[in-house]
Structure 1
Amino acid sequence: MQDPARALFDSLGADMDNEPRFLRPNAIIEPLVDGFYAWVLTVAPVQAAMNLAFLQVPLLESYLQSPPVHIAASQNPALRGGYFVNIGEDRAGEVRALLDSIKRDRAEMLRFAEAIMEAEDILRQSASGFDLTPLYPKLPPELGGLVELAYDTNNQPTLRFMEPVVYTSSVYSEDRQSVQLSIEPGYERPFILSTPRLSSPDVLDLRIPFRHPGLEALFGARVRPSTLGELREALELPDDAAARQLEGLLTTQPSLNSDRHIDGGGRIRYFGHACLVLQTPEAAIITDPFISADNTAGGRYTYDDLPDYLDLVLVTHGHQDHIVLETLLQLRGRVGQVVVPRSSRGNLCDPNLALYLSHLGLPVTEVDDFDEVAFPGGKVVATPFLGEHADLDIRSKSTFWVEMAGRSIFVGADSSGIDPLLYRHIRRHLGTVDVAFLGMECDGAPLTWLYQALLTRPVTKKMSDSRKLSGSNAEQASAIVTELGATEAYIYAMGEESWLGHVMATSYTDDSVQLKEVEKFQSWCADNGVKSEHLLGQQEWRW
């Protein structure tokens, strides 16, 4: 006979499991690969292998040689954004265990990266303009069936990766993927490019791939109520302890703001960094989504302000602050299409963004320059993106021209005005723009900050420092606005928002050249009758 007290407890638990619940507005996800924060160069298989072998493993080895050095450097403001592991020495054993597991479980990936280096060396030594066929048998076996050798028209040899095939090979493993679910802490998280995430009592660790349907069910509970029981089943929670952690991410009350939709006209809202939400009553579009989950901070739009459905997500390029996986995974199930620029197909430094996102369960449309994508009541035109990628041969970058509610908006992201005549061609093709949104990080990080692990031949510091991840300065931004005929121009916050420091790690002072260039540009705008503003925090435009 069942104990009456136990029966009552079980019935109360069942009631709680079936009670309508919403996801808390400040719930966050950190997608991880082998413990490191996931972004395109650590997930796309070719680039992930290179970063694992030549950045992440050496980084962990360096930390274990001297944890105090890494900890001190991580706390030095002058070294913010550097490659240092910000983990206390008392947890060095866990870091060692992580390193050991990577060397054991990812040995095939590590060997694949070494094979790429060997193949590049073979090309440098043996590809002299003659037939490349005899070189195929000399390639490392790990590359068999995954690469093609070719010359460019300057007779320079190159190694082209067959990316769709690599995704089907053992080099791409979803076993690397996991997620940590938690509540936004309200303070800056460790820098994403250097510090792996260890287990913690205040996070829910789930060994599930990024495309797992349970994540869509969980983040859908921001808009539609679910139950603890349904979400526990959807996420395949392993035990009651995990279920209790999940319960802490849920609430019985929705928090969505009533003005997240509009009844007439058009509206643009600035959510921070390069993230805009453009709306009419019929449609909603978001650019480079990077959204704050802290709805208690004030002065910013958050997930509570996001429309329930987004017709299009526009991604301008593949840098970690523009294709932000922790935001995109939270939008899955709420978007019609993610629009991404076409890549150069198989180039080591230019992973295919469409392949990347489709393997994560997102619906993707790939566009080239001047391709059009229609949405209810308007259209988006992909426009060229010039510069900002340290002179690497990267084609997966696009600006966008949006026509909606009788206005045209240019989404310029971090593109540069180094050749203003490009924008004259855009104007000839599409007409005059009403509003331009631009980035002016005109003194960006050097080549090696993002791409060191992909360089198969070393570069000098002087060479790296000469090739920056830079957008427009004042003169270039002025030229863009002039050529497009814009009457309004707005400059994105360039990593100045405190809530995205874990991704940007940007530090400015009043003397920073970037801010001085913004001031010069705004003075030019004032002198030339162009309405302008340097954005920070939430902003809204209605018409």
Structure 2
Amino acid sequence: MGANEEPIFLRSNAIIEPLVDGFYAWLYTVAPVQAAMNLAFLQVPLLESFLRNPQVHVAAVNNPALRGGYFVGIAEERKDEVAALLESIKRDRADMLTFAAAVAEGEELLRQNATGFDLTPLYPKLPAALNGLVELAYDTNNQPSMHYLEPLVYHSPVYDEGRQSVQLSLEDGVERPFILSTPRLPQPGVLDLSLPFRHPGLEELFRARTKPTTAARLREALELDDAGARQLGSLLDTRPSLAEDRHIDAGGRVRYFGHACLVLQTPEAAIVTDPFISADNRHGDRYTLDDLPDFIDLVLITHGHQDHIVLETMLQLRGRVGSVVVPRSSRGNLADPNIGLYLKHLGLPVTEVDDFDEVPFPGGKVTATPFLGEHSDLDIRGKSTYWVELAGKSVFIGADSSGIDPVLYRYIRNHLGTADMAFLGMECDGAPLTWLYQALLTKPVTKKMSDSRKLSGSNAAQAGDILVELGAREAYIYAMGEESWQGHVMATTYTEDTYQLKQIDEFLGWCRDRGIPAEHLLNKREWRW
């Protein structure tokens, strides 16, 4: 047997970064309407700003106080490469840039002319790039809006799979650049694959985490030349590194994998929530991709933020997932891209749910439950919490939802009963509206207005109200970007005096006073019964 025919596996610490035009890919840079807006009104201006004054960007990136800011973390001596990237975007993504400008023009047309009367005369006045892709409508308060026909936009020039590529490398322990601001340029030791995310060769590669393949087969599947094949070799091993205890043979188990990721298991089934999983198995202080069960019946996505639907993890689950359960969006709202459409175009099986829809799995079921708050008061319906029943326990998956109206949770309890375990996020002083949504705002907002509308979950009082209304017997608070392997996505910095941590301490004290077991989670935790 030749070397190219020996059974091989993908190394545990292989990192897969999905990119669009060099920028790290997430929902709002892949879903076509939102991607066009972010490209035109965030990424292009960001690159232009860097080229005007790279020293400012480099200094800002190296300033801990500005962590998570929109600065390009690329050395000044590579500015010619950044200029080439910008030129290629303006040349090759002209349809997207035209569409984004048309969105802004169309929204202004509505603001100036939709005064409660018939909207029909406005259609001929719309920019040509919007023709056939939008519908104009009023709500019952006579407020006009433009609805985007998303399935059609995916089949228009605005959605271009040629933007997509993947970088493969090995985890080196160095924190990656913040994902929303710095494009990835070619680097030594990094394999660039100019393949769309749904390419079958990527599924063949990711399957090699659990099932053997050969170097020859991977070379053909990934369409590699000799140099690419040699580079790929450094990412492969002759042995798998799967954890022996990744399955269970009796009872139930919940494992905390960091951030908002849980793996709930019985001998018959496995459920994963918001997969955001480390590839680095050298430390022993975390569960990694090695610890995932071979087959996952359901992946539950709570909402579309970049730390809850993490594309680099999701792509690696393709081929080993029964279905990805996602909240149904509001259909055509600019701020609310359809998560189901997004994942289907990436080759993943999808089940869309509304509040109180049930999804069965062997030995249990998942019920979608409402999600309040956390989205800067934007009209976003693509968000859901979940109630999981397995092995005799009921588990509430609260994600970043807020207790701003605790009566909601009374309705959940009346419908589903009391929760044995409740998992909540308490990022109660989140980023302002413009940090994530600036590119979608076709009408400027003041800083004061933006700062008042934050991406915040529950504070101590609200978390307590949720627990009371659910009758929850145990409470667990997610780490909020505190895990060391999440800095490129979270870019959070906390001290012991940080408001969020003080609120968590207050909530834990509230639980102690009432005899409710409660913890602030970090890195890893396991529950068995």
- Specify if TM > 0.5: yes
CA deviations over 1:87-145 (Å, ceiling 9, x no partner): 00111100000000000000110010000000011101111100000000000000000
Answering whether residue 297 of structure 2 is matched by residue 341 of structure 1, we say no
- Paired amino acid for 1:59: L
Match of 1:41 in 2: 28
Contact 1:19 1:228 in 2 (8 A): yes
Match of 1:112 in 2: 99
Paired residue for 1:94, among 81, 84, 108?
81
Match of 1:77 in 2: 64
Moved over 2 A (4+): none
What SS does structure 2 have at the residue aligned with 1:311?
strand
Q: Percent identity?
A: 76
| Cα deviation, residue 185, structure 1 | 2.0
Work out the CA distance in 2 between the residues paired with 1:145 and 1:294.
47
- Paired amino acid for 2:276: F
Work out the CA distance in 2 between the residues paired with 1:482 and 1:149.
43
Match of 1:486 in 2: 472
Match of 2:195 in 1: 208
Work out the CA distance in 2 between the residues paired with 1:16 and 1:201.
25
- Paired amino acid for 2:218: L
Match of 2:260 in 1: 274
Match of 1:448 in 2: 434
| Cα deviation, residue 442, structure 1 | 0.2
What SS does structure 2 have at the residue aligned with 1:277?
strand
- Paired amino acid for 1:40: L
Match of 1:28 in 2: 15
Work out the CA distance in 2 between the residues paired with 1:188 and 1:473.
29
Contact 1:22 1:223 in 2 (8 A): yes
- Paired amino acid for 1:101: S
Paired residue for 1:61, among 45, 48, 67?
48
CA deviations over 1:140-180 (Å, ceiling 9, x no partner): 00000000000000001100000001111111010000000
Match of 2:391 in 1: 405
What SS does structure 2 have at the residue aligned with 1:91?
helix
Match of 1:5 in 2: none
Equivalent positions of 1:366-385 (< 5 A) are 366-385=352-371
Stretches of structure 1 that go unaligned for 5 or more consecutive residues are: 1-13
CA deviations over 1:17-39 (Å, ceiling 9, x no partner): 00110100000110000110000
Equivalent positions of 1:387-466 (< 5 A) are 387-466=373-452
What SS does structure 2 have at the residue aligned with 1:226?
coil
CA deviations over 1:358-401 (Å, ceiling 9, x no partner): 00000000000000000000000000000000000000000000
| Cα deviation, residue 187, structure 1 | 1.6
Stretches of structure 2 that go unaligned for 5 or more consecutive residues are: none
What SS does structure 2 have at the residue aligned with 1:259?
coil
Answering whether residue 306 of structure 2 is matched by residue 317 of structure 1, we say no
Answering whether residue 3 of structure 2 is matched by residue 16 of structure 1, we say yes
CA deviations over 1:298-321 (Å, ceiling 9, x no partner): 210001111000000000000000
Answering whether residue 203 of structure 2 is matched by residue 224 of structure 1, we say no
Work out the CA distance in 2 between the residues paired with 1:223 and 1:117.
47
CA deviations over 1:486-516 (Å, ceiling 9, x no partner): 1100000000011000000000001000000
Match of 2:275 in 1: 289
Work out the CA distance in 2 between the residues paired with 1:96 and 1:462.
34
Match of 1:6 in 2: none
What SS does structure 2 have at the residue aligned with 1:478?
helix
CA deviations over 1:187-223 (Å, ceiling 9, x no partner): 2100000000001121100110000111111111110
Equivalent positions of 1:349-364 (< 5 A) are 349-364=335-350
Match of 1:149 in 2: 136
Work out the CA distance in 2 between the residues paired with 1:165 and 1:65.
37
Paired residue for 1:192, among 169, 173, 179?
179
Match of 1:298 in 2: 284
Contact 1:187 1:499 in 2 (8 A): no
Answering whether residue 514 of structure 2 is matched by residue 517 of structure 1, we say no
Work out the CA distance in 1 between the residues paired with 2:295 and 2:53.
49
CA deviations over 1:43-82 (Å, ceiling 9, x no partner): 0000000000000000000000011100000010100000
Contact 1:437 1:491 in 2 (8 A): yes
Match of 1:501 in 2: 487
Match of 1:255 in 2: 241
- Paired amino acid for 2:51: L
Answering whether residue 119 of structure 2 is matched by residue 136 of structure 1, we say no
Work out the CA distance in 1 between the residues paired with 2:284 and 2:523.
9
Contact 1:29 1:326 in 2 (8 A): yes
Match of 1:3 in 2: none
Work out the CA distance in 1 between the residues paired with 2:116 and 2:34.
27
Work out the CA distance in 2 between the residues paired with 1:23 and 1:504.
26
Work out the CA distance in 2 between the residues paired with 1:125 and 1:372.
44
Give the superposed CA RMSD. 0.6
| Cα deviation, residue 254, structure 1 | 1.2
Match of 1:535 in 2: 521
What SS does structure 1 have at the residue aligned with 2:351?
strand
What SS does structure 2 have at the residue aligned with 1:423?
helix
Match of 2:90 in 1: 103
What SS does structure 1 have at the residue aligned with 2:245?
helix
Contact 1:277 1:285 in 2 (8 A): yes
- Paired amino acid for 2:375: H
